[in-house]
Amino acid sequence: MGGSAKLYREQIADLRSGFRLDDDERFGARVAALARPLIEQAKREYPESAAWDWELHTTTDGDANAYAMAGGKMLVSRAYVDQLALTDAELAMLLAHEIMHAVLRHNLKEFGEALRLEPERAKQPFQEFEHDIDNDNALMRKLASFNQRQEMEADREGLMFAVRGGWRPQALAGYFRKLAKHSHYPNFERFDHPSPASRWQAARELAAQLEAGR
């Protein structure tokens, strides 16, 4: 998660000018084949998102990982998917997580939380405010636990969303197992993300519950 719509446009433009946008046809086709039905499902389940100009790009640039902006703008990095050796189900889980950030309007909620914490920011020019949300360390620290809850929500809702889309819970949860396994600091909480180990535990428990109910 993270970044503004402006940041997305800038990153897409940078990748395009460096010939790194949608630069692997096979990978792009694989991601699109998995993402398309999930996006159609999102449009049905979250009707306000049907009007969005959904956009999906891929890149081989190793600096990007995967993210979705408000309004359904997504970017997936092949380096990240290769590094974790994701299966189709695991890649679907990653996409479902990103789609949940968008349809649950996590960006907007983060702005709301920032204004609740620092009401005087209502007077700040929006571009500055938007920039600070991702760059001002003091504000980011204050938002960390809120954002971690949003991450857990995107994990949980994303897993259930992908299950409704026909994927097996256990296969989806494999994404979090790989995330924890490949992390150098599986128990370390980053600013805005819960620890990979706790995400894997939550996904494992949810998948077991869902499998039991099948």
Q: Give the number of other Cβ atoms within 10 Å of residue 166's Cβ.
A: 9
**Toward Zn ion, which CB reaches closer, 110 or 151?**
151
**Toward Zn ion, which CB reaches closer, 21 or 179?**
179
Q: Which long-range contacts (CB under 8 A, 24 or more apart) does 115-118 make?
A: 117/142, 117/143, 118/142
**Site for Zn ion contains 74 (CB under 5 A):** no
Applying CB under 5 A, among 1, 68, 76, 203 the residue interacting with Zn ion is: 1
Instruction: Compute, in degrees rounded to 10, the torsion defined by CA atoms 179, 184, 185, 190.
Output: -70
**Toward Zn ion, which CB reaches closer, 114 or 154?**
154
- Rounded least distance, CB 120 to Zn ion, Å: 28
> In 3D, which of 115, 106, 93 has the Cα closest to residue 207?
93
**Toward Zn ion, which CB reaches closer, 27 or 176?**
176
Indicate the residue whose CB is closest to Zn ion. 1
**Site for Zn ion contains 69 (CB under 5 A):** no
| Cβ proximity of 127 and 58 under 8 Å | no
**# chain residues binding Zn ion, by CB under 5 A:** 3
Return the CA Rg of the chain.
17
- Give me the numbers of helices (H) and strands (E) for the chain, helices first please: 9, 3
β-partners of residue 27 are none
**Site for Zn ion contains 93 (CB under 5 A):** no
- Rounded least distance, CB 146 to Zn ion, Å: 13
- Rounded least distance, CB 97 to Zn ion, Å: 6
**Beta-carbon-side half-sphere exposure of residue 212 (alpha carbons within 13 Å):** 6
List Cβ neighbours of 155 (8 Å cut-off, separation of 6 or more).
Answer: 97, 176, 199, 202, 203
Binding to Zn ion by CB under 5 A, coded x per residue (else -) over 121-160, reads ------------------------------x--x------
Distance CA 151, CA 161 (A): 15
Binding to Zn ion by CB under 5 A, coded x per residue (else -) over 153-192, reads -x--------------------------------------
**Toward Zn ion, which CB reaches closer, 66 or 163?**
66
State the residues that interact with Zn ion by CB under 5 A.
1, 151, 154
